[in-house]
């Protein structure tokens, strides 16, 4: 739906609505990990099988993203997002009726299908509502849903699971998403590329093969995606196993462990995400590499704190280090997603996010839960988690390599 000029009030309404849906996105995604200990006991699962529940979601998420990316560049972005919201909300709620492992696995895989459609179109849609020089801060507001939604997922999952059981936790967090499907479907949309986008040439359509092929030739896009893949490996591993780590190593029950980790995540995530968006926009005015410099240094500074969070003997030291490590991890969310938008043209932007989603999850949190689960079965959970700081360090190095090409590729995207 797109008719006439869009007021500033409506743009802010659109941002608020998409932020609310993104909150539900991460609540429904993370609630599983809050109830890991309960599912493990109830279904008598190994850590490898438990970790694959997280991987099943990510596998379907990344496999369907390229299809939805192409659809998003050729069809209504709002209807695609609304349809995905309905699918993942229903799948989350239906997980509450799962009688065993296989049905729970199928429900979580279906959640990934629904969330893939929203994830491919929403960042570009948000960016098109606002001017280029504000993208970092605007996307920071949108991506603040990651720490807040994740924290709410841990909190709600921990409390509801502790009181009512893990089935009820899935059912109660899944239903609210259905209420926002119609407002999303009716949302007015700006032209692709925003207010400064040139009028579309008649008869010109981007072929799916040429659109995707061009992305792999874009060096900034490739290295930025590799940095985000390494970041996602670390975040995915820590997010999915820290609640169990607190339960096993620091003897916290499910409710207390998830509440403590959720509160730490939401505070560090909000501060890190908003600081990253502000710093990124400010630094970008001084240098075309500004977003990448903020992200690269954030990864490097956060790495030793991630190591200490895992090795700290006491709970206070562990949680303090988790807070600092998460702050510097979330610092990168706005800047790195803004780089994707800045180095790709409006006509292939949904496909760009689809490719990004595919690779950051295929190389990141689609595999890290199972890898860490298997390593935990071999070495113990604490030793297994020590591979995540190495992934953070690698992400920082990719950011600095990407900085060598980003100015040239941004100019090419404008042309």
Q: Rounded to whole angstroms, how far apart are CA atoms 340 and 342? A: 6
Question: Residue 289, SS3?
Answer: coil
pLDDT in tens, 326-343: 999 989 988 998 899 888
Are the beta carbons of 212 and 355 closer than 8 angstroms? yes
Q: Mean pLDDT in the chain?
A: 85
Which is more confidently placed, 103 or 72?
A: 103
Q: Rounded to whole angstroms, how far apart are CA atoms 227 and 292? A: 10
- Is the per-residue pLDDT at 71 higher than 90? no
Distance between first and last Cα of the chain? 28
Look at residue 200 in the predicted model and tell me its pLDDT. 47
Per-residue pLDDT band for 221 (boundaries 50, 70, 90) equals very high
What's the mean pLDDT in 148-175? 86
- Is the per-residue pLDDT at 197 higher than 60? no
Look at residue 125 in the predicted model and tell me its pLDDT. 85
Per-residue pLDDT band for 193 (boundaries 50, 70, 90) equals low
Secondary structure letter of residue 347 according to DSSP: G
Are the beta carbons of 69 and 353 closer than 8 angstroms? yes
Are the beta carbons of 30 and 153 closer than 8 angstroms? yes
Look at residue 265 in the predicted model and tell me its pLDDT. 81
Look at the pTM and tell me if it is higher than 0.85.
no
* Domain extents in the chain: 8-191+211-414
Residue with tokens 């502000």: 278
Look at residue 20 in the predicted model and tell me its pLDDT. 92
Cα 349-194-280 angle, rounded to 5 deg: 75
Look at residue 414 in the predicted model and tell me its pLDDT. 61
CA distances, 146 to each of 82, 202, 270 (Å): 19, 39, 9
Per-residue pLDDT band for 201 (boundaries 50, 70, 90) equals very low
Residues 6+ apart with CB under 8 A from 229: 359, 360, 361, 362, 363, 364
Per-residue pLDDT band for 211 (boundaries 50, 70, 90) equals low
Q: So what's the architecture of 8-191+211-414 in CATH? A: Up-down Bundle (1.20)
* The two structure tokens encoding residue 150: 């994740």
Are the beta carbons of 338 and 291 closer than 8 angstroms? yes
Are the beta carbons of 366 and 55 closer than 8 angstroms? yes
Residue 205 CA, distance from chain mean position: 29
Q: Rounded to whole angstroms, how far apart are CA atoms 230 and 237? A: 11
Q: Rounded to whole angstroms, how far apart are CA atoms 254 and 234? A: 22
Residues 6+ apart with CB under 8 A from 72: 80, 117, 120, 121, 124, 350, 351, 354
Question: Residue 363, SS3?
Answer: coil
């Amino acid at each position: 739906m797109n008719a006439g000029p869009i007021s500033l009030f409506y743009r802010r309404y659109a941002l608020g609505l998409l932020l609310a849906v993104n909150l539900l996105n991460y609540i429904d995604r993370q609630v599983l990990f809050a109830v890991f200990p309960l599912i493990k006991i109830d279904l008598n699962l190994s850590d490898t099988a438990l970790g694959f529940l997280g991987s099943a979601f990510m596998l379907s998420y990344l496999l369907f993203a390229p299809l939805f990316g192409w659809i998003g560049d050729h069809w209504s972005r709002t209807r695609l997002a609304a349809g995905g919201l309905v699918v993942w909300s229903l799948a989350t709620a239906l997980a509450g009726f799962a009688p065993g492992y296989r049905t729970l696995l199928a429900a979580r895989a279906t959640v990934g299908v629904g969330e893939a459609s929203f994830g491919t179109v929403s960042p570009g849609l948000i960016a098109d509502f606002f001017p280029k020089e504000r993208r970092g801060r605007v996307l920071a507001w949108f991506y603040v849903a990651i720490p807040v939604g994740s924290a709410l997922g841990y909190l709600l999952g921990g409390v509801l699971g502790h009181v009512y059981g893990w089935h009820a936790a899935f059912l109660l967090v899944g239903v609210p998403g259905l209420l926002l499907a119609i407002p999303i479907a009716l949302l007015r949309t700006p032209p692709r590329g925003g207010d400064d986008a040139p009028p579309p040439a008649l008869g010109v359509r981007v072929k799916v093969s040429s659109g995707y092929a061009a992305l792999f030739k874009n060096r900034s896009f490739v290295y930025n995606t590799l940095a985000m893949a390494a970041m996602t490996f670390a975040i995915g591993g820590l997010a999915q196993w820290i609640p169990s780590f607190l339960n096993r190593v620091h003897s916290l029950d499910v409710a207390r462990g998830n509440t403590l980790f959720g509160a730490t995540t939401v505070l560090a995530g909000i501060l890190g995400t908003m600081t990253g968006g502000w710093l990124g926009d400010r630094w970008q005015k001084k240098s075309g590499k500004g977003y990448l410099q903020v992200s690269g240094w954030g990864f490097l500074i956060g790495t030793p704190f991630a190591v200490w969070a895992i090795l700290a003997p006491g709970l206070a030291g562990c949680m303090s280090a988790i807070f600092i490590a998460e702050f510097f991890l979330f610092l990168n969310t706005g800047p790195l997603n803004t780089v994707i938008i800045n180095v790709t043209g409006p006509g292939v932007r949904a496909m760009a996010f689809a490719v990004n989603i595919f690779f950051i999850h295929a190389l990141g949190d689609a595999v890290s839960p199972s890898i860490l689960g298997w390593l935990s079965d071999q070495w113990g959970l604490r030793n297994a988690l020590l591979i995540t700081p190495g992934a953070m360090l690698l992400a920082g190095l990719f950011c600095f390599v990407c900085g060598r090409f980003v100015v040239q590729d941004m100019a090419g995207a404008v042309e």
